[in-house]
Amino acid sequence: MLGGCALPVAAGLLRPSAARAAQEAGYGGGTPTTGVNGDQGYESAGSFEIVADFYGPGPSGVAVTDSGRIFVGFPRHAVNHKGATLGELVQGRVVPWPSAELSLPSAVAPADRLMSIHGMTMDTQGRVWAIDDGKLAGQPLQPGAAKLVCFDPQTNRLVHKIVLTTPALLPDSHMNDLRVDLTHGQAGTAYVTDSSFGHSPALVVVDIASGRQRRVLATHPSTQAEPGFMAVVEGVPLVYTPGKPPRFVVGGADGVTLSPNSDRLFYAPLTSRRLYSLPTALLADPTVSEVALAAAVKDEGEKGTADGLATDTQGRIYTTNFEQDCILRRNTDGSFDLMVHDPRILSPDGIFCTKTHVYCTLGQWNRLASFNGGQDKRKPPYHLIRFPIEPLLAYNAEQKI
């Protein structure tokens, strides 16, 4: 576990929670302890470990290599912090990655440095991809700031950089997450969700070899926030009303994930409970019309109030859930499993599957001042957690073997 020794409280540093032992003793068993309610939505359930505590900026995207290297994004669109926007966890510390020159604030042109790393993923060649939403809190989006970047963790070098431009990029764009499909296009195709800071969400499809980018499904229900949508966040019922300041995190197309063989893209609006999918053979083809794309969208049914989505090698989809403080798994037959539930799982955001574990960042985004009448209600530490894809069964000491 990272953060195993106490470190000074500072931006970008990790340290263990002093109350962790007490918390872990009381949480995670899924067994009723109050004698009042045995509902798994009431009691903690599942088993997870806190990989890292963050006392500086809040984390969002996460990617983990097969060798166990962990990379985390710390966006600046909500708080224009001075720490690394992309970091690697090394011996309990956040180290700016791939370099301090790229990851820390500087006077370098926005196109030539990392501004605000948000969603992250890895392709099938083991390279780290990230969406730089380009946003600095309180400032307009600068030319060249929003972009896709790809790094080779073997060399720590930049492999691809694709600056997003109009008409794929709008003034109110909020480039949120991405997945990379190496089965379509000369160098692959990236699918980006633009959840929008306004009312213009869409999917953005980027051909990696040429840099060509196009905005699709910008008016389709599958990418839109649902007017009148109600979410119960930390026990408070909140309603999304277009035109009024939101009281919780809202947006259009947000979570996104690929099937194991990259033949299908799954995605979902943030302000919705529905999951949608599309064949990537159509989505990656620039000759396919908007009408044909819309006709190919499949409504996969409800999945809860999800932010991040991730897929394991068996095609099961892990969905964060900011209403129930939990992470669910959608099985290939459409049924769901509750993987972990705990009061500490606040605003589960970026999520990533390795062969054995699911990693998830917990950024407390619902507690930002912008959703709480100007009062910042976040209480660090923020967490990076993980849990096993196949939970270990408890040993029954009374069973004869």
The predicted-structure confidence for 258-304, as pLDDT tens digits, reads as follows 999 999 999 999 999 999 999 999 999 999 999 999 999 999 999 99
User: Per residue in 223-251, pLDDT tens?
Assistant: 999 999 999 999 999 999 999 999 999 99
User: Per residue in 105-155, pLDDT tens?
Assistant: 999 999 999 999 999 999 999 999 999 999 999 999 999 999 999 999 999
HSE value, Cβ hemisphere, 13 Å, CA-based, for 75: 27
Q: Is the pLDDT of residue 35 over 60?
A: no
Select the CATH number that applies to the domain covering 50-388 from these four: 3.40.1280.10, 2.120.10.30, 3.40.50.150, 2.40.50.140. 2.120.10.30
Give pLDDT, residue 32: 42
Are 11 and 56 spatial neighbours (Cβ–Cβ below 8 Å)?
yes
Secondary structure (3-state) at 292: helix
Query: Tokens 């196949």 — which residue?
Result: 390
Task: Judge if the upstream peptide bond of residue 167 is cis by omega within 30 degrees of 0.
Answer: yes
Domain limits of the chain? 50-388
Secondary structure (3-state) at 330: strand
Q: What is the pTM of this model?
A: 0.89
Give CA angle at 344 (338, 347), nearest 5°.
80
Are 147 and 134 spatial neighbours (Cβ–Cβ below 8 Å)?
yes
- Can you give the C-alpha Rg of the chain in angstroms? 20
